[in-house]
Structure 1
């Protein structure tokens, strides 16, 4: 049985005849209890908290969510007083928005050392911070990163000033907010072992100087933290307000409707109206709005006590006396549901339990993310060498890779998610379907009527009329043929451009030159293909096909058998319409194949060959380094990926070491 359990058992059994005797017993055993609790934390709890603190210092929270306690509350809920009581130092106070940046508070109980603090945040500009006014007992510490600011100091009275100045730098002077994190690490023999993040208080009505949407800005910032399943939401609610209407608890319920990861702190119990004590007790006993982690009531220093400069240690004793002397709330002491001290122990235990539960999954997520980053870095390449010879060899390598891709594309191999020949065949099918549809509109019987009869005697044909009917109908195919050519050109250019972007993704000058080269080649090839199509339709004006082919199609149309031996006897006007249909069928079949062959030859095969030759001529350029100039965003991406790789590698090492110890 722990010392606290023993004390509670003695109290409930009547071992203490008065509150003063109970208090005396507490004082007598305070040092023993502290030693036992600290020893326990040092062995089984502190390592877990230190691990998460280390991971956050590494910056892994930029990549993955970490097990965290965040503190939220409406303005004037007593949030700052609770944090002040937990940390033992005065944090910024005042009216309106006091916490304007997320403040990570790392509390470390270190016996036998003098009070010490380290404030860290990423500044907006280079150089050291310049605080307005003199700050004693502080020193600036240079950091390996160009934008990190670190301030060490040994005077607790400077905390408020340092935090306020950091907020001014990050969020601007005034009432603005920022999502940049400020970390305050406090090492002292008089604090609990705990890490939590304080967030701005929720406001409804903007004050002078605040933007109209300040309430929405704060809620977005809070939501960014509390929505994560790795976060324990610590909601601060005053006892003298309707708990169901507090905005902070509403937000916590929205992201955690079952109340699994929400703990509520009830503050200002001395301000409640008489007669409402039982209602408050019902809340603490979890019968009004049930929360899995429950409720704890605390009484922190009021404004009068702050003005009277009552020390936090004395305020803690006054808090205990308040509960001990309150007929309604005395029971909460025995249930460990009251005082800042009970809150600190519960928070520490809840956080460590949460870390233990989350650690295996976090380890797996880090390993998975590490693999993905390594793969992304590989795709990002390392960039060209600085020396001319190395740069030229690098250029040869990527140009050869480009030509291999172009060759594969033109030969029908799959080089991207969109198969080129699947797209081409779809267009060719549309062309074939269109040709077949024109056969329905080809009705030559009207044009072969008596009114179109020539000078021939009955029984003879007007072959010139026969030719003209066919020529007119075939001529209508020329414009759709050119439409097909342009559609194919656009598809091929898009696929070529995709290969350019993939092979030269980091080199914008090389991309632009190659894309211009492709466009120029395609324009020339387009002109050649258009000329070839025009020639094709000119040739179609000369009505011709092999006799066996014509007779075969005519036989299929009429269901009669014709052969070359019957030529003198089947030349009858009644068969003219069938003969026209038969020949047009041959034109359709011929054009359905000829146009796709012609277009792919000029626009794909020849283009690929010319492009492969022209692109290698880039090696003759005098300034190879200019060709290999990288986009600034590529360099930035590579830098970010490398930084992420370093974070993840360090984090994986820390967790692996922790799990094997």
Structure 2
């Protein structure tokens, strides 16, 4: 066997070691050297480091019906799914772990959220098929989700490899037309990495130069430095072609730095006859020992599954050792870049529980401060609601003023109605005070609808502004945004109902027709009721000819009503919808501090937060990987 830099000495170098290989025994001193390196890479893959950079691994590829499954069965000691067409439909990470000390066989299969432990080797095939159906669906589709099968047994070598779907040439029923390209794309994603050893399975009874698997390996590894080929089905070759096959194995046809190994695994008839894998191993060795042409391969360490297992383990560990310095440098560079990028991200909640709680309190206080400044109308505040409210209050006042233009028509209509329905023996113009009240009430009642409309508009304005404050203060915290939005809506709804009731009460009070005498006289004077510039007062009002000045008297009182409503309605709205609503909202938000699950409340969902969390997770796993690697360098 060829020894690259960093390989183990004397592996399979004597007939005694070959005998031990036959028995499935890997020397203990070699195990002590091998296991830590393989465990290191497996631990890095377990923490997800292969999402950040490529890890040393062995990828198994082959055309359909190349014998790939049989090779993996022989290495692992368990039956894997078999059949025609695409059998492997998801990448299968096969982790073989040698155990001793009387411990029996056990295994774990994991994918997605599933994690199944079992101790019956006969269950492997069913569990793998179930996992593939779960990930790729029932049928013949493929999926790039990884299935991990870890087998712990006294009968295996320490080895990790990834089985990939067999290369399909023609789609079968139920497969998409581009299934071949889908499979090749999946295979390339593994074998194109410099860190991957490509294990190519090729049947002896086909022209090796025409196999799709070897072509793909050559495309990504033209010099063959990281490609090892396995020749299967040596019992099916045509007589007279044995020497040609020997030339292939001895690297004289398509040279590969890692060379070729020939194996003879169980055939379908042996499986049907329930020949065990252990028995198949003995049958394999006897086949090579007695073969006229291939017996020489035993002495050259180029035949049998046990020889393959030893070489694969050695090659993988050598590959890991060579890759470690570069891996360490890649981790350092990525950590530097990620930490720099993370420092430029907007800060999120601290991880320390107490600091996280303080951050939560501070976040709520900032929200309350903005809400209070919105409600107080502080100058220069970007959330100053009074800019918008003043505009709506002016519209209300303008509407009140606009009703004055139709005042005369309303008065005439009411007087005419009175004369038709209520006038008795009195002559026209001698109307009583009830007519005055009727006119006022008719005018005022028309203002109730617009007042409620103003309330609705301002409620929407305030609610939108408060919600904008919520989004600005809790941009990355959907829970807080949801809580704040619900509280804003509930409080505004209750306050709106309260204000509406107050406004209706105000209009009910306006039916009483009342004002202070002094205020009324002032309004009368402003309407030019007095003749010759004489001011009307309590002293001279008794002599005033009120019959002819009836409309002016009504107009004077209506001016008072308009002024009163122009102020009172906005004050009611401002107090209950803005001032009191802001206080209630702030109190309720502060109440979240009592017994709140801070971690849930501050759960983030945004592109910025997801990016920051993703960066932090990458930094964490790369830091852990760096610590693990430092123990080996």
TM-score normalised by the chain length of structure 1: 0.56
Q: Which residue of 1 aligns with 2:198?
A: 233
Of residues 632, 640, 649, the one that matches 2:623 is: 649
Contact persistence 1:336–1:342 (CA under 8 A): yes
User: Counterparts of 1:74-89 in structure 2 under 5 Å?
Assistant: 74-89=63-78
Q: CA-to-partner distance for each residue in 1:242-268, whole Å, 9 max, x for gaps? A: 111100000000000011100000000
C-alpha deviation, 1:364, in angstroms? 1.3
Q: CA-to-partner distance for each residue in 1:470-508, whole Å, 9 max, x for gaps? A: xxxxxxxxxxxxxxxxxxxxxxxxxxxxxxxxx999779
Change (3 A) 1:654 1:630: closer
Q: Which residue of 1 aligns with 2:610?
A: 636
Contact persistence 2:56–2:197 (CA under 8 A): yes
Distance across 2 between alignment mates of 1:348 and 1:334: 19
Q: Does 1:64 align with 2:53?
A: yes
Contact persistence 1:41–1:193 (CA under 8 A): no
Change (3 A) 1:324 1:637: same
Q: Does 1:218 align with 2:226?
A: no
Change (3 A) 1:635 1:389: closer
Q: CA-to-partner distance for each residue in 1:376-409, whole Å, 9 max, x for gaps? A: 2222223367646445669999xxxxxxxxxxxx
Contact persistence 1:78–1:238 (CA under 8 A): yes
C-alpha deviation, 1:655, in angstroms? 1.1
Q: Which residue of 2 aligns with 1:120?
A: 110
Distance across 1 between alignment mates of 2:310 and 2:369: 66
User: Counterparts of 1:116-195 in structure 2 under 5 Å?
Assistant: 116-122=106-112, 148-195=113-160
C-alpha deviation, 1:636, in angstroms? 2.4
Change (3 A) 1:120 1:41: farther
C-alpha deviation, 1:184, in angstroms? 0.7
Change (3 A) 1:378 1:234: same
Larger radius of gyration: 2
Q: Which residue of 2 aligns with 1:298?
A: 263
Contact persistence 2:476–2:609 (CA under 8 A): no
Distance across 2 between alignment mates of 1:33 and 1:205: 41
Q: CA-to-partner distance for each residue in 1:386-440, whole Å, 9 max, x for gaps? A: 646445669999xxxxxxxxxxxxxxxxxxxxxxxxxxxxxxxxxxxxxxxxxxx
Q: Does 1:93 align with 2:82?
A: yes
> Could you say what secondary structure the match of 1:236 adopts?
strand
Q: Which residue of 1 aligns with 2:574?
A: none
Distance across 2 between alignment mates of 1:305 and 1:179: 32
Change (3 A) 1:244 1:31: closer
> Could you say what secondary structure the match of 2:86 adopts?
coil
Distance across 2 between alignment mates of 1:299 and 1:267: 6
Contact persistence 2:363–2:473 (CA under 8 A): no
Q: CA-to-partner distance for each residue in 1:223-252, whole Å, 9 max, x for gaps? A: 000000000000000001111110000000
> Could you say what secondary structure the match of 1:195 adopts?
strand
Q: Which residue of 1 aligns with 2:632?
A: 658
Contact persistence 1:74–1:247 (CA under 8 A): yes
C-alpha deviation, 1:351, in angstroms? 0.4
C-alpha deviation, 1:114, in angstroms? 0.2
> Could you say what secondary structure the match of 1:658 adopts?
coil
Unaligned runs of 5+ in 1: 9-24, 123-147, 398-502, 510-618
User: Counterparts of 1:444-459 in structure 2 under 5 Å?
Assistant: none
Distance across 2 between alignment mates of 1:629 and 1:196: 39
Distance across 2 between alignment mates of 1:290 and 1:176: 35
Q: Which residue of 2 aligns with 1:498?
A: none
C-alpha deviation, 1:656, in angstroms? 1.5
C-alpha deviation, 1:40, in angstroms? 2.3
Distance across 2 between alignment mates of 1:294 and 1:504: 64
Distance across 1 between alignment mates of 2:28 and 2:289: 28
C-alpha deviation, 1:646, in angstroms? 2.3
C-alpha deviation, 1:4, in angstroms? 4.3
C-alpha deviation, 1:173, in angstroms? 1.1
> Could you say what secondary structure the match of 1:309 adopts?
coil
Of residues 75, 89, 102, the one that matches 2:91 is: 102
User: Counterparts of 1:330-409 in structure 2 under 5 Å?
Assistant: 330-383=295-348, 387=360, 389-390=362-363
Q: Does 1:40 align with 2:47?
A: no
Distance across 1 between alignment mates of 2:474 and 2:154: 56
Distance across 2 between alignment mates of 1:342 and 1:314: 16
Q: CA-to-partner distance for each residue in 1:342-386, whole Å, 9 max, x for gaps? A: 000000000000000000110111122122222222222233676
> Could you say what secondary structure the match of 2:176 adopts?
coil
Distance across 2 between alignment mates of 1:63 and 1:396: 43
Change (3 A) 1:657 1:30: closer
Contact persistence 1:235–1:249 (CA under 8 A): yes
C-alpha deviation, 1:5, in angstroms? 3.1
Q: Which one is further off, 373-382 or 309-318?
A: 373-382
User: Counterparts of 1:268-283 in structure 2 under 5 Å?
Assistant: 268-283=233-248
Contact persistence 1:3–1:33 (CA under 8 A): no
Contact persistence 1:281–1:329 (CA under 8 A): yes
C-alpha deviation, 1:645, in angstroms? 2.2
Distance across 2 between alignment mates of 1:283 and 1:393: 76
Distance across 1 between alignment mates of 2:152 and 2:476: 51
Distance across 2 between alignment mates of 1:353 and 1:33: 24
C-alpha deviation, 1:150, in angstroms? 1.1
Change (3 A) 1:72 1:381: same
RMSD value over aligned CA atoms? 3.1
List 4+ stretches of structure 1 deviating above 4 A: 1-4, 31-35, 391-397, 503-509, 622-625, 628-631
> Could you say what secondary structure the match of 1:380 adopts?
coil
C-alpha deviation, 1:31, in angstroms? 8.9
Contact persistence 2:346–2:608 (CA under 8 A): no
Distance across 2 between alignment mates of 1:323 and 1:223: 34
Of residues 11, 14, 18, the one that matches 1:6 is: 14
C-alpha deviation, 1:120, in angstroms? 1.4
Q: Does 1:49 align with 2:57?
A: no
Q: CA-to-partner distance for each residue in 1:49-93, whole Å, 9 max, x for gaps? A: 110011111111111100010000000000000000000000111
Change (3 A) 1:629 1:360: closer
Of residues 288, 311, 329, the one that matches 2:253 is: 288
Q: Which residue of 2 aligns with 1:201?
A: 166
Change (3 A) 1:54 1:388: closer
